[in-house]
Amino acid sequence: MNDPDLKLVKKAKQGDQHAFGKLVKKYQNKILYLAYDLVGNYTDAQDVAQNTFLHAFKNIPYFRDESSFSTWIYRIATNAAIDFQRSKKRRRQIFINQSKYDEQDQPYLENVEDPAVSIIKDLENSDLKELISELMEQLSPQQRAAFVLKFFHDKTTEEIAKIIECNPVTVRGHLLRATIKLRKKLKDER
């Protein structure tokens, strides 16, 4: 396999933190953007990205070189985002089931965004991006991951299959169902 990160990965597997730091620097923006596309909130995306790199750091000795480092780190990020979405859904259900008295006692937290990330701000201000983001929340985590990886991160069906650990036929099914759902909902919105 011709992985451009192979030398850094080998050094990182041997405990070279500087080499791992170079990998983080190379992939930090890509992983942050992927996380943002999957969870739809910059603060949450930062948490997902941080968890991704912590998981990768702890598990780099077990990386088996069966896929590229890029595919491996995208897989970790995608799984972290899917887990985050599932836990967010659980937390939302718990909150909805609380009484009004309990709701009044809950502190409200504001999402503070990093002003240095102007491209994300531009995307958030776009009406179409906002509408698509809202609609994408209605997709299953696997459909959303496949859709985001394909159309926002230009991954091939084979790469997506490796990242979300399924076969390419399943990926195509996720993409088809996601596209049909989004197309129908966009028509309904117009």
97 vs 69: CA distance, rounded Å: 42
pLDDT score, position 127: 65
- pLDDT confidence of residue 107: 40
Only one residue has tokens 């195509």, namely 172
Residues 139-142: contacts with CB under 8 Å, at least 24 apart? 139/178, 139/181, 139/182, 140/174, 141/81, 141/82, 141/85, 141/86, 142/82, 142/166, 142/174
* Helix pair 17-39, 6-13: axis angle to 10 deg: 110
Q: What is the model's pTM?
A: 0.71
Average pLDDT, the chain: 81
What pLDDT, on a 0 to 100 scale, did the predictor assign at position 126? 59
Give the mean pLDDT of 54-82.
92
Domains and CATH numbers, the chain: 1-112 (1.10.1740.10), 126-190 (1.10.10.10)
Contacts of 40 (CB under 8 A, 6+ apart): 133, 136, 137
Which residue do the tokens 């036929």 mark?
Answer: 169
CB-CB neighbours of 66 under 10 Å: 9
Per-residue pLDDT tens over the stretch 69-123: 999 999 999 999 999 988 876 555 544 444 444 444 434 333 334 444 444 455 4
Residue 47 scores a pLDDT above 60: yes
